[in-house]
Amino acid sequence: MMGGERDVEVSVETVQVERGEFHVTGDFAGEFRSDGMAELSSEISGRVISLNAHIGDTVSEGQVLAKIDDSSIRQSVRELEANVEVARANLEEARVNLENLESDLRRKRPLVDRDIVSEREIEDLENGVRRAEQQVSVANATIVQNQARLSSAREDLRNTEIRAPFDGMIGLRHVDRGTHVNPGQTVLSLVDDSDLYVTVQVPERNAARVNRDTPVKLRVGAVGSMALNGEIHRIAPVLDSSTRSLRVDVMVDAPDELYIRPGTYARVSLELGHEQDALTLNNQAILRDTDGTPYVWKSEDEKATRVELTLGLVGRDRSQILDGLSQGDRVVLRGHEKLEEGTNLRDLRATGDDEPMPQPPQEM
């Protein structure tokens, strides 16, 4: 800028750096969940022949909730049981044959020296013993194979009954009687609502400020937006790589008469920082350099001075200033587009704005 141009005043609006108590809260969407939530699916293919529970029904652990047609599986079990018995009989026959051949061999082997039995006959007996040993091994393997198939069929038979894995209530019924289901297809949803909590996804930029002692407040629109207290129960050890957020589970201190269903949404406020005595500045006055360094244009003797900042807590409207400014400093809020170091300033701030105003909690 030329010397004559430097005398030109730039009209700006400034704000003052203030000192006082400073809260930063994060307002996030949460959802009520329960550790006792299960999608009960079929392990086998078949037609649903009975459904013993409906939406809202209270069920007990182990109770049969649905039944899949088992007629073909029962037939398979009977056939495999018969196969096992046949294989055992074959094994017994093979063992008897082996014992007879071994006995015959022991009896005739001494007779070779007396020329009563030939060497060729002994060789034939030895070969017969080896074949009989193989038959015993095959019979044993056949039993093991059939028993494995029988165990699998019996497991399929057990899986034709879908049972409740814990006490709870039926949340949804996904099929009707007569529906053909496939392995993995959900039949019923079961919910245990006795241990509800709220799960919140906290963005990466706020994750470092959340710990087990972080104060929590909740509002649930479904029950009239009543203010509820909460306590952080669990914090995930890692960020979700797909959402770049941290899962936080919050236990809710709700009255017994207040019934909240799993799946209900809540607004969750986490206190991300609190300073009893902090320097703060309006966020609109804080600019960023190309490398992300925060800075402001400070009005000093009615001239513009560029000042780099060190920030602390950052709220939605204001930020804490750790270094770079002092209480009472005036900083350009609007009109900084044409400023350079030493530019003359004409401050258009409103009269009386030097009086510090109480600062509400800052939300993220």
**Residues 230, 198 share a domain:** yes
Looking at residue 206, what is its pLDDT?
Answer: 87
**Domain with 185 in it: what CATH number?**
2.40.50.100
**Residues 133, 61 share a domain:** no
Q: What is the pLDDT of residues 17-27, one digit of tens each?
A: 999 999 898 89
- Whether the CB-CB separation of 73 and 49 falls below 8 Å is answered with no
Looking at residue 1, what is its pLDDT?
Answer: 44
pTM: 0.57
**Residues 116, 237 share a domain:** no
> If you average pLDDT over residues 67-92, what whole number do you get?
94
* Domains held by the chain: number: 4
**Residues 114, 246 share a domain:** no
**Domain with 264 in it: what CATH number?**
2.40.30.170
Closest CA to 332 of 321, 312, 316, 348: 348
Closest CA to 188 of 158, 163, 160: 163
**Residues 266, 243 share a domain:** yes
**Residues 122, 104 share a domain:** yes
| Range in 163-167, 260-264, 321-325 with the lowest mean pLDDT | 260-264
Rounded to the nearest integer, the mean pLDDT of the chain is: 88
SS3 of the chain: helix, strand, coil, percent, to 5: 25, 40, 30
**Residues 130, 58 share a domain:** no
Looking at residue 205, what is its pLDDT?
Answer: 84
Looking at residue 242, what is its pLDDT?
Answer: 92
What is the C-alpha separation between 8 and 340, in angstroms, rounded?
12
**Residues 64, 168 share a domain:** yes
**Residues 222, 110 share a domain:** no
Domain range for 349: 3-22+275-363
What is the C-alpha separation between 323 and 38, in angstroms, rounded?
52
